[in-house]
């Protein structure tokens, strides 16, 4: 299948400093992708290069099989048939909702334009707000109008740069799920840039985790969590702790919690020192459990409580218990170590 977007080995520089190094990604029609990573890792630079606001110093970017960026050539953003949604919404304050949404539709007849505005406002559930001005809308409504404006001209690709960061946590969660539904209902192809993994998980089919100007793993949310392919991703995605261990056999690691036999084989020399990733779901509450942990921290999460438990060896692990298992600090609870997957990194 011909991808909508094909980014091949791009490098971007600010003056002589490399900000993005050897990034490649392909996005097919109707796919939602997220660039996820900590501040300064280069995700906005990649997005701006795809939009045509930044040039590339090597590699190239194709949209629908046409090269739009390569060293010495950058097709202007307005000719790329891309929709953009920004962190600050960038709506026009002197225009009402229908004029904001209709901004990219001036090439259509008045009748077609009005029909498209009506249709897209219905999709973002703001049909009753056509005459409102931007300052008369909530943050979440403004963001939905910004999305409607980006989608109205039926762009090949929608680019979203931290679109939820001005909203409170609950609104972010709600809107990120809704944005996915809206984009999917339109068959839109999109890229979300965020530093918030829960947003990326809620919106995207595939996620590219970036570190220091490179995509270090491009995968599904499930695989990023359960099969991180490097230490940075293991540490950045989800929660967990690392246990020191020694490789006894390709699929056996000795740890302070016992010998772990896993579903993976590592071809490092026997005796190698490793770090074993332990997720909260690997430590299970069990009255018959053979380990005892003292509660040294707890965080209520609604349906579950995330406990930090100190074992007799002094090692601290995280564990999620159903929230009716409500223990106090310093209480001792029985647990079992039951890792689903073995994930280890050589030290
Ligand atoms: P954030 O989440 O903080 O926005 P980011 O992952 O989007 O970060 P970028 O904005 O792409 O990161 O920046 C990548 C690197 O390039 C950073 O080290 C940044 O300081 C640098 N950089 C970004 N914009 C410029 C610029 N206009 N001039 C010089 N350096 C820049």
Question: Domains of the chain, with CATH numbers?
Answer: 5-234 (3.40.50.300), 239-346 (2.40.50.140)
Is the model's pLDDT at 50 over the cut of 90?
yes
Mean pLDDT computed over 257-283: 90
Is the model's pLDDT at 169 over the cut of 90?
no
Instruction: Express as a percent the part of the chain with pLDDT over 70.
Output: 100
19 close to ligand 1 (CB < 6 Angstrom): yes
40 close to ligand 1 (CB < 6 Angstrom): yes
Is the model's pLDDT at 291 over the cut of 80?
yes
Is the model's pLDDT at 1 over the cut of 80?
no
**346 against 86, higher pLDDT:** 346
Mean pLDDT computed over 319-340: 91
Backbone φ and ψ of 215, nearest 5°: -85, 115
Spatial CA neighbour of 282 closest among 198, 344, 331: 344
Question: What is the Å distance from ligand 1's center to 14 Cα?
Answer: 9
Q: Which pLDDT does position 264 carry in this prediction?
A: 85
322-332 confidence digits (pLDDT tens): 999 999 999 99
Q: Which pLDDT does position 88 carry in this prediction?
A: 74
The pTM (predicted TM-score) of the whole model is: 0.90
Residue nearest (by alpha carbon) to ligand 1 atom 28? 14
pLDDT category at 164 given cuts 50, 70, 90 is: confident
Pocket test for ligand 1, best of 13, 18, 19 (most atoms within 8 A of CB): 19
Distance CA 108, CA 110 (A): 6
Q: Which pLDDT does position 167 carry in this prediction?
A: 78
Is the model's pLDDT at 166 over the cut of 90?
no
Average pLDDT over the chain, rounded to whole?
Answer: 92
pLDDT category at 260 given cuts 50, 70, 90 is: confident
Mean pLDDT computed over 102-109: 89
Pocket test for ligand 1, best of 41, 212, 216 (most atoms within 8 A of CB): 41
């Amino acid at each position: 299948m011909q991808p909508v977007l094909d980014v091949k080995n791009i490098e971007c520089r600010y003056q002589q400093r490399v900000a993005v190094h050897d990034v490649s990604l392909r996005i097919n029609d109707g796919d939602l992708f997220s660039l996820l990573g900590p501040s300064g890792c280069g995700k906005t630079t990649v997005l701006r290069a795809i939009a045509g606001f930044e040039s590339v110093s090597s590699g190239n970017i194709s949209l629908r099989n046409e090269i739009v960026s390569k060293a010495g050539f950058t097709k202007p953003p307005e000719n790329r048939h891309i929709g953009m949604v920004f962190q600050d919404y960038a709506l026009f304050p002197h225009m009402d909702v229908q004029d904001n949404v209709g901004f990219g539709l001036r090439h259509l007849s008045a009748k077609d334009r009005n029909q498209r505005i009506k249709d897209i406002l219905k999709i973002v559930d703001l049909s009753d707000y056509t005459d409102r001005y931007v300052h008369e809308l909530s943050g979440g409504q403004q963001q939905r109008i910004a999305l409607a404006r980006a989608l109205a001209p039926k762009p090949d690709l929608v680019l979203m740069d931290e679109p939820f960061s001005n909203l409170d946590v609950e609104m972010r969660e709600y809107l990120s799920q809704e944005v996915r539904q809206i984009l999917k209902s339109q068959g839109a192809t999109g890229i979300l840039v965020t530093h918030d993994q829960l947003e990326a998980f809620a919106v995207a089919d595939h996620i590219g985790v970036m570190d220091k100007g490179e995509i270090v793993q491009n995968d599904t949310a499930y695989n990023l969590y359960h099969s991180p392919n490097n230490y940075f991703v293991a540490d950045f995605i989800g929660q967990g702790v690392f246990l020191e261990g020694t490789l006894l056999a390709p699929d056996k690691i000795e740890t302070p919690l016992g010998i772990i036999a896993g579903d993976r084989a590592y071809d490092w020399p026997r005796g190698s020192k490793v770090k074993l990733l332990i997720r909260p779901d690997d430590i299970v509450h069990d009255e018959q459990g053979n380990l005892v942990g003292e509660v040294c921290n707890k965080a209520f999460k609604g349906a579950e409580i995330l406990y930090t438990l100190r074992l007799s060896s002094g090692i601290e692990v995280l564990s999620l218990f159903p929230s009716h298992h409500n223990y106090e600090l310093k209480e001792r609870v029985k647990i079992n170590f039951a890792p689903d997957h073995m994930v280890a990194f050589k030290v």
